[in-house]
Amino acid sequence: MLNLILWTGGGLAVLLFLIGVITSLSSEKSLVDERIGQVTESGRPIISEKERSKPLTDWLNQQVAGSSYGNRVARDLARADLKMKPGEYVTLMFIAAFGVALIAWFIGGRSYWFGAIGGIFGFMLPGMYVRRQQGQRLIKFSDQLPDMLNLVVNGLRAGYSTMQAMESVSKELPTPICDEFRRVVQEMQLGISMESALENLLRRIPSDDLDLVITAVNVQREVGGNLAEILDTISHTIRERIRVKGEIRVLTTQVMYSGKFLAILPLIVIAVLYVMNREYMMEFFKPESGICGYIALGIGAVLIFLGYITMTKIAQIEV
């Protein structure tokens, strides 16, 4: 009976996941939704009539969106440029947790310990993917920032206004920088001030270089001055910083991957030994071992975590 329930639940989870993926890929936003949806600080699109016909999604969004956690999730999704609502993201976390737990339970010889570990790992998977997308997008944006500044400087020297120069960025440069500046231009066209639109941009792209550019633009609008000259100088500074960061990234990549591999290697060894020789691994949990087995596993987990944190800190060099 338990197996039937688990298999039925797993099938429903996979079916819901596939339906969600197909719906997300096939949905089309209208031009009005695309423009108005960018006004919000989180960048969440306005719910269309087609999307309002999903009572479960609406209920989850109402429960999640009104909380501080929902605002944080919406901000993280906007930074990763993932077209999902907070409720859909939370649903995906639970589906991933259940699916991975079911797979781990089956592979681990129907052990509830393996199922629990798989559930925790599956629950963390969407967050890991979102953080990875954020990092990649931030690096891409930072690499394109000097080209954006050069285009803005050339536009200002040719007689463009600041808004016209930003509009040319949204048309000429590749993603993700063109998408973000298109959003900024759309917000200003809908009546939001340039300062607020740029602040929203900084919330979506937490970059120190972008913060420097936005500060320069805001100061120039208040006190005046030659914005083209200021941005030209900033562009040179950012290019040098990007060059140094690239060199550091090349030198520290091996350390970062070594830290990740060494952190996950004990878990892989434990899983393999548990599948191949379960009696040997169960020595930690035998009653005659008392609390010693749990203490040994806890100390090992703490040492692995501290080692990973230490290697990560060594590889993080601020420029």
Domain coordinates of the chain in residue numbers?
2-21+48-133, 139-245, 252-315
Q: What local confidence, expressed as pLDDT, does residue 266 receive?
A: 87
Query: Could you tell me the pLDDT band of residue 163, with boundaries at 50, 70 and 90?
Result: confident
**37: pLDDT strictly greater than 70:** no
pLDDT one-digit tens code per residue, 231-262: 889 888 888 888 888 888 888 888 788 888 88
Are 301 and 242 contacting, i.e. CB atoms less than 8 angstroms apart? no
* Share of residues in the chain with pLDDT > 70 (%): 78
**CATH number, domain 139-245:** 1.20.81
Q: What local confidence, expressed as pLDDT, does residue 115 receive?
A: 83
Interatomic CA distance for residues 73 and 84, integer angstroms: 10
Are 152 and 245 contacting, i.e. CB atoms less than 8 angstroms apart? no
CA 319 to chain centre: 23
Query: Could you tell me the pLDDT band of residue 36, with boundaries at 50, 70 and 90?
Result: very low
Among 149, 148, 145, smallest CA distance to 233 is for: 149
Q: What local confidence, expressed as pLDDT, does residue 18 receive?
A: 57
Q: Chain-wide mean pLDDT for the chain?
A: 79
* Share of residues in the chain with pLDDT > 90 (%): 6
pLDDT one-digit tens code per residue, 42-77: 444 444 444 444 566 666 666 666 677 778 888 888
Q: What local confidence, expressed as pLDDT, does residue 277 receive?
A: 83
Q: What is the DSSP string of 242-297?
A: HHHHHHHHHHHHHHHHHHHHHHHHHHHHHHHHHHH-HHHHGGGG-GGGTTHHHHHH
Average pLDDT over residues 163-173: 89
Angle between helical axes of 55-65 and 68-80 (0-180°, round to 10) = 110
Q: What local confidence, expressed as pLDDT, does residue 270 receive?
A: 83
Interatomic CA distance for residues 138 and 203, integer angstroms: 12
Among 202, 212, 217, smallest CA distance to 241 is for: 212
Average pLDDT over residues 132-159: 89
Query: Could you tell me the pLDDT band of residue 29, with boundaries at 50, 70 and 90?
Result: very low
Angle (CA) 243 248 250, round 5°: 95
Tokens of 198: 């740029």
